[in-house]
Amino acid sequence: MSENLPEFTGYNFTFAFGALILCTLTMLIAVRMICRAAMVKGRSHQKRLLFSACIAGNGVWATHFVAMLGCANSMATTYNVPLTILSMFVAMGLFVPTWWSECRTPNRSRSPRTALLMTITVGSMHYIGIAARGDTGLEAIPPVWIILSLTVGFAFFYAGTLLLRQQRGRKRSLAAIAWVLGICSLHFMGMPDAYLSHETMGDMPQHIASLSLAETVGAGASTFFALACIFLLLEYQSARRKIEDSTRARSFADAALEGLVVTTGSVVLDANSAFWNLAGTRSNATYHLKNFFPVLATEEIVQKLIKKETPREIQMIRHDGERIPVEVYARESSWRGKPRTILAIIDLRARKETEATIKELAITDMLTGIGNRSFFVASLTDLLQDKTRNNPVVVFLVDIDRFKNINETCGHAMGDKVLSHIAKRLQLLVPQDAIMARIAGDEFAVACVLSPDDVTDFASYLALELKIPLPDGHDELPVSVSVGFAVSDDDMQDGGQLLHCSGIALLAAKQSGRGNVREYDRSFDSSIQNRIRLEREIQLGLERNEFFLEYQPIMSTLDRRLVGYEALLRWQHPERGRVPPDQFIGIAEDCGLIAQLGAWVVRKACRDAAGWENGLNVSVNVSPIQFTTSDLPNVIKAALDDAGLEAKRLSIEITENTFLQGKQNIEVLKALRTLGVGIVMDDFGTGYSSLSYLRDFQFDKVKIDRSFIWDMLNQPHSAAIVDAILSLGHGLGVDIVAEGIETAEQLAYLEERSCSLVQGYFIGRPSQTIAERPRTEVLESSVAA
């Protein structure tokens, strides 16, 4: 075999070096095009494959003939034109299935299919090009060298395909080097000896042979460089589009109000300006999620957040160490062509401040600045349940004597000054840890832990110290107060019960004359007996059909048309006459009759609404007790089915206390929502008014408590609360209902602020027969006047 080895005597290696450069450029471009083609689909994928095959085939073909220039002195005068053209089209045509095969081969695969196709493609082009000579060059190559050249070429081609599949980024260029070695090995090992030496040159003219080969090389090289220029132009356009897309994406990301973070694992890859501003630093270092969010320290926690598909409220640590509340959303997305985790960070500080402000407004008496009844009862209950105290809890109720006379004689402004003055005096007189609130118009409550020996003396001390002249020198009606108090026993844990006992004591003190002090005593608690009688009479009233419903219309401010009615429970007692709801609803809740009474109300309202020709909706108040003492969803479904009423025509009204009794009530509300029944938040503003209720559950309507409507034209604080609730409703997309409209001025105020729905005596009084139109249509002429 050694005597058949190619001899390179007289070979011009300058052309070999040029061929090497040309081949290297060809394979680098091919690798780039294959990677790009694998990233797209459809027609774009097909175009990229075809263009890559053209460049690769033409480049390899041109490489072959540039290398042939080095041995031009031994080449034939002419080339067979059809075979020469065939060799070029074979190269370009066979590279199409070669690259198609590689694009569909999975990463990390060890399949040799692509290498085998490359060997066939390059080998076919090479040996057809050799056969294109007019002499017997192909026959001069020993078969063993043909096999060896193909084998060595295949080995390099296979190494290149493995590198292409297993490397990432710029390291994929190593595949081009292996392919270049494969092409060069196949070319030079597959050349006959006569092509590479001077001995067989013969008498052929050198300029004719060189000219023919030069024309072939010129055509191939020109075509390759034209295709390469097109490739460079496409690469430039692609890079420009990539920069523009990146700039546009960055601009959009920086324009977002919330922080956006791109992560892989626990490493922060990129973030927008909003996030870096929130973090108090800039992206000049490598950060991990745990640097800002300790609770997101591991990838497993982030994946759980993604699967949960709901936001999570956590603490964010700023660069300066400050902790701020944020809400985090997590999603899987593609970033720069790779799967990444995208976090959206929402700053909750403003929301928390707003919520705290509304909550503070809801539990604060606007006139005096101290707590209100809701705040007092909740705080008192907590105090009663505190087992660490050593003494009983005492509640003192302070009522201003003849306060009505003060308002009538000196005006309401003076009455407000008296209330403020009493509140300030109480703050100076009571212990620092005492709970204090204004629970009614002229009633103040104080709760504190005292020794039983000091209780009576402290009550007398309050009555004495609060006996003061009117502010601003008005001494014609000196202020005095009556005090009633009650001491808790060991088993008492309900703040409302202790407040009730002190209220009975206050009533006894006022019945004894002004400026008196009384302690709660069961002996004068006649209301207890009355309560027991009422419990029995409520049960009898249900059996004797003494209860009935009245319907108060609800009007839309958009077109002043009725949209529905609220069903109001009434009781016509045979002896007591008409009993107000506030005198029997609470008793029914306490004695366990509210479930039976509430079920009757729902059935009756559904039957009545089903018979209305106008087809308007009806809303029914539901007590929080009904959520735990009855199967409320089934009760309502049975009432709807029995009456044949569409579920969307029925709404239930609940108070915020419903949410204070555990997550079970939330599940009941979701079941009602599934039925199609509307859910309305009633008396909003009188409880804790937590924004989390509106965030966690989507209400159909929210009702502003009538107390704010009555005072909004005279009390700036009440007006501020009404405006805040209306703005909140607009922001959440929830209809706001204002109840208690009694004057045209109140209606005009609410219409000006786009309050969706209104009800009250001015709109229409409750009646057993429904109205066909709102009362405001009748009064429009008088309102205009």
Cα 555 to Cα 274, 738, 760, 773, 782, distances in angstroms: 44, 10, 9, 9, 19
Extract the tokens encoding 704. Answer: 């502003």
Q: Is 7 a catalytic residue?
A: no
| Beta strands at 481-487 and 517-519: parallel, antiparallel or unpaired | parallel
Is the Cβ–Cβ distance between 330 and 342 less than 8 Å? Answer: yes
- For residue 306, what are the contacts with CB-CB under 8 A and spacing of at least 6? 330, 331, 332, 341
Q: 3-class SS at 297?
A: coil
Among residues 265, 420, 239, 404, the alpha carbon closest in space to that of 343 is found at: 265
Q: Measured in whole angstroms, how far is the alpha carbon of residue 364 from the centre of its chain?
A: 31
Q: What does residue 593 show for φ and ψ, rounded to 5 degrees? A: -95, -5
Is residue 622 within 8 Å of residue 631, measured between CB atoms?
Answer: no
472: Cα within 13 Å, side-chain hemisphere: 8
Which one is catalytic: 589, 739, 777, 780? 739
Q: How far is residue 421's CA from residue 405's CA, in Å, rounded to a whole number?
A: 17
Determine the Cα–Cα distance for residues 81 and 86; give it in Å rounded to an integer.
8
Pairing between β-strand 393-400 and β-strand 443-449 as defined by DSSP bridges: antiparallel
Residues 6+ apart with CB under 8 A from 614: 562, 770, 772
Alpha helices in 191-319 (DSSP H): 206-255, 273-279, 289-292, 299-308
Q: Which tokens sit at 563?
A: 């949209």
How many helical (H) and strand (E) elements, i.e. helices and strands, does the chain have?
A: 27, 20
Neighbour-count burial of 2, counting CB atoms closer than 10 A to its CB (0-12 exposed, 13-18 middle, 19+ buried) = exposed
SS3 state at 521: coil
Say if strands 517-519 and 435-438 run parallel, antiparallel, or are unpaired: unpaired
| In contact, 261 and 331? CB cutoff 8 Å | no
From its phi and psi, is residue 552 left (phi > 0), alpha (psi between -120 and 50) or beta?
A: beta
Q: What positions carry a catalytic annotation?
A: 739
